[in-house]
Amino acid sequence: MNRNSIFAAAVGAFLIISIVVFGGCKGTLPGSDISTDLSTILTLSTVSYDFGLIEAEAGSDSISVAVTNDGAETVILSQAKLTDPVNFTADDSVFPLTLEPGDTAALLCIFNPMESGSLETTIEINAEDYDTSLTAILTGEGNYPPEIVPGIFISGDPDISGFYAEEGSYNGRPVYISCQNNGFAIYYFGEDTTTSRSLIPTIPDGGWVIHSNDFSLGSYNKAFCFSYDDPAPSTPAQVQEWSIPITVTDNTLGPLVCGADVSACQEGEAVHVEYIFSDKDSDAEGASQFQWYQCSNPDDTGTAITGATEREYLIQSEDAGCYLRVTVLPEALTGIIAGPSYTSQSTARVMFGM
């Protein structure tokens, strides 16, 4: 064998060895995963994003995360996994997604909180034949808007009048505490203690009348007032006695116009609106907004009265012969500020002053 033949053989052997070693580094052997860090080949347009404050169970927001192939090889994205798939979602309909060198694709990520509080998820993007992944962190806060909730309304005795909100139950019946912080609660007492609130018999036309020390079972349910310090009286002695009969109207959804005798109100009298403010996140009430309306009939939506934007309204001479109603827009001090608006029933027809 001459010198040239020996050199050619040596070069050929070198080339063969070189190809085998290079292929092994690329991970192309059957059944192997590419050990190259995926983050050195692909880039994300964002690795962290905060959606901010979103209404829980109702609102949503989204962001498109761009994935770019900066490498020299084709990459096939296989899936996107979330550590919190309840409050966050990713559009998995795009997978498998082939990215040629230089290609960019968008992955839609959505935040739709189903609860309140600070929420976070890690999104993990995987690719076929790679044992590493790309990750990004998404955050957001769920929060409920304020609302006006139904309760029972008591009239007759100024010491305990006003709205009462449902707080719990006793003997299977709801207990309501005063929204005016007057230290009292209302408890429905009746023959069937297993009947739910929605099945309580129809209230008589005059409403529930509180009778002194009457703890006996009756043909229909009766309501009793007792001290909030002991919301579960077991004997008649714990029931408060009242010299002034009061009327309890069940399941009243505020706002409710109060103050003057709204069944016979007249110009020159002051009326105001009562309601039960509620916020599932316990955000305090802020500057709730009011608007009074003058209506031509009880079912009329009415015309907004200029300047009548306070909780109390002094009936004017121009209101005589008309009906009044008020709209309340509850606002919280923190969190999601504004809730839906609520409009009261109309008053009786306003009478001319005497």
Q: What is the pLDDT of residues 55-85, one digit of tens each?
A: 999 999 999 999 999 999 999 999 999 999 9
The residue among 328, 339, 287 whose CA lies nearest residue 144 is 339
Residue-wise over 54-89: b if at least 16 C-beta within 10 A, else e?
bbbeebeeebebebebebeeebebeebebeeeebbb
Report pLDDT for 184.
62
Report pLDDT for 263.
67
Which tokens is 39 given?
């983050």
CB-CB contact of 36 with 75 (8 Å): no
Clarify whether residues 153 and 233 are in a common domain: yes
For residue 10, being part of any structural domain is answered with no
Report pLDDT for 262.
64
Clarify whether residues 296 and 336 are in a common domain: yes
For residue 342, being part of any structural domain is answered with yes
Clarify whether residues 274 and 228 are in a common domain: no
Clarify whether residues 191 and 174 are in a common domain: yes
CATH code of the domain containing 128: 2.60.40.10
- Residue 209: count other Cβ atoms within 10 Å of its Cβ: 14
Clarify whether residues 138 and 210 are in a common domain: no
For residue 122, being part of any structural domain is answered with yes
In this prediction the pTM is: 0.70
Q: Residue 347 and residue 322: Cα distance in Å, rounded?
A: 9
The residue among 192, 75, 184, 86 whose CA lies nearest residue 134 is 75
- Residue 224: count other Cβ atoms within 10 Å of its Cβ: 21
CB-CB contact of 59 with 112 (8 Å): yes
Q: How does DSSP assign 21-64, residue by residue?
A: HHHHHHT-STTPPB-S-GGGTEEES-SEEEEEEEETTT--EEEE
Clarify whether residues 288 and 229 are in a common domain: no
For residue 2, being part of any structural domain is answered with no
CA angle 22, 23, 25 (to 5 degrees): 65
CB-CB contact of 305 with 285 (8 Å): no
Clarify whether residues 185 and 249 are in a common domain: yes
Overall size of the chain counted in residues:
354
The residue among 47, 108, 46, 103 whose CA lies nearest residue 75 is 103
Residue where a domain terminates, one of 143, 158, 188: 143
- Residue 268: count other Cβ atoms within 10 Å of its Cβ: 14
For residue 294, being part of any structural domain is answered with yes
Bridge partners (DSSP) listed for residue 145: none
Clarify whether residues 237 and 310 are in a common domain: no
CB-CB contact of 153 with 247 (8 Å): no
Clarify whether residues 63 and 113 are in a common domain: yes
Q: Residue 147 and residue 222: Cα distance in Å, rounded?
A: 29
Clarify whether residues 267 and 325 are in a common domain: yes
The residue among 251, 258, 224, 289 whose CA lies nearest residue 165 is 251
* Total domains, the chain: 3
Report pLDDT for 113.
97
Clarify whether residues 131 and 156 are in a common domain: no
For residue 163, being part of any structural domain is answered with yes
For residue 201, being part of any structural domain is answered with yes
For residue 1, being part of any structural domain is answered with no
Residue where a domain terminates, one of 143, 163, 189: 143
The residue among 134, 114, 104 whose CA lies nearest residue 122 is 134
Residue where a domain terminates, one of 220, 253, 286: 253
Domain holding 228, by residue range, is 147-253
Element (H, E) at 13: helix 3-26
CATH code of the domain containing 307: 2.60.40.2700
Low-confidence ranges of the chain (pLDDT < 70): 1-35, 156-160, 167-176, 181-251, 260-263, 353-354
If you search the block for the tokens 């007032």, which residue do you land on? Answer: 225
Clarify whether residues 327 and 260 are in a common domain: yes
Q: What is the pLDDT of residues 135-192, one digit of tens each?
A: 999 999 999 999 998 887 877 666 667 787 776 665 555 666 777 766 666 655 444 4
Report pLDDT for 154.
75
